[in-house]
Chain A
Amino acid sequence: MRIIAFVKYVPDAAGDRSFEDDNTVDRESDGLLSELDEYAVEEALQIVSQAGDGEVIALTVGPEDAEDAVRKALQMGAHKGVHVYDEDIEGSDALSTSKVLAAAVRKVIEDEGDVDLILTGLASTDALMSVVPVQVAELLGLPAATQASDVEVNGSTVRVRRDGDTASQYIEVALPALVSVTDQINEPRYPSFKGIMAAKKKPLEDYDLEDIDLDAAEVGEDAAYTEVIDITARPPRQAGEIVADEGEGGQQLVDWLASKKLV
Chain B
Amino acid sequence: MSEILVLIDHADGSVDKSSLELLTAAKSAGTPVAVFVGTAEAAQQAAPTLAEYGAERVLVASDPALTEYLVAPKAELLASLVESQQPAAVFVSASPEGREVAGRAAAKTDSGIITDAVDVTPDLVATQSVFAGGYTITGKVVKGTPFIAIKPNSISAEPSQGAGSVEEISFSPSDAAKTARIVSVEEKPASGRPNLTEAAIVVSGGRGTNGDFAPVEAFADAVGAAVGASRAAVDAGWYPHANQVGQTGKTVSPQLYVAAGISGAIQHRAGMQTSKNIVAVNKDDEAPIFELADYGVVGDLFAVLPQATDAVNARR
Contact = CB atoms under 8 A, between A and B. Distances in A.
Interface of A: 13-14, 17-19, 36, 93-95, 98, 122, 125-128, 130-132, 134-135, 137-139, 141, 143-147, 149, 159, 163-174, 177, 182-184, 224-234, 237-238, 240-245, 248-258, 260, 262-263
5 contacts: A13-B267, A128-B130, A143-B72, A245-B297, A253-B311
A256 B295 contact: yes
Contacts of B298: 242-245, 249
Given A17-B131, A171-B180, A249-B297, A237 B100 contact: no
B285 A242 contact: yes
A227 B144 CA distance: 13
B103 A134 contact: yes
A108 B293 CA distance: 49
Given A226-B141, A250-B308, A232 B107 contact: no
Contacts of A17: 131, 134
B42 interface: no
B88 interface: no
A-B pairs, 3 with minimum CB distance = A250-B307, A245-B299, A225-B112
Interface residues of B, number: 90
Contact of A173 (B111, B179, B197, B279): B179
Contacts of B138: 228-231
A253 B304 contact: yes
B140 A226 contact: yes
B39 interface: no
Contacts of B266: 13-14
A125 B196 contact: no
Contact of B281 (A125, A170, A248, A253): A253
B1 interface: no
Contacts of B110: 95
Contacts of A174: 179
Interface string B166-189: 000000000010011111111110
A167 B307 contact: no
A238 B293 CA distance: 9
Interface stretch (B53-61, B204-212, B241-249): B241-249
Given A244-B298, A263-B223, A166 B188 contact: yes
A252 B297 contact: yes
Contact of A242 (B104, B142, B190, B290): B290
A249 B294 contact: no
A231 B135 contact: yes
B52 interface: no
A14 B18 CA distance: 32
Interface string B82-97: 0000000000000010
Contact of B183 (A134, A138, A172, A232): A172
B155 interface: no
Given A231-B135, A258-B315, A131 B113 contact: yes
Interface string B272-307: 000001110100010000111111111110011111
Given A228-B137, A242-B285, A146 B183 contact: no
A141 to B, nearest CB: 7
A143 B104 contact: no
B293 A232 contact: no
B70 A171 contact: yes
A229 B120 CA distance: 13
Contact of B256 (A18, A242, A262): A262
Nearest to A160: B180
B145 to A, nearest CB: 10
B158 interface: no
A137 B315 contact: no
Nearest to A233: B135
Given A143-B179, A167-B186, A252-B297, A94 B308 contact: no
Given A143-B72, A226-B112, A250-B305, 8 more contacts: A94-B113, A95-B113, A98-B107, A131-B99, A165-B195, A169-B186, A229-B125, A262-B223
Given A130-B99, A232-B136, A242-B298, A163 B242 contact: yes
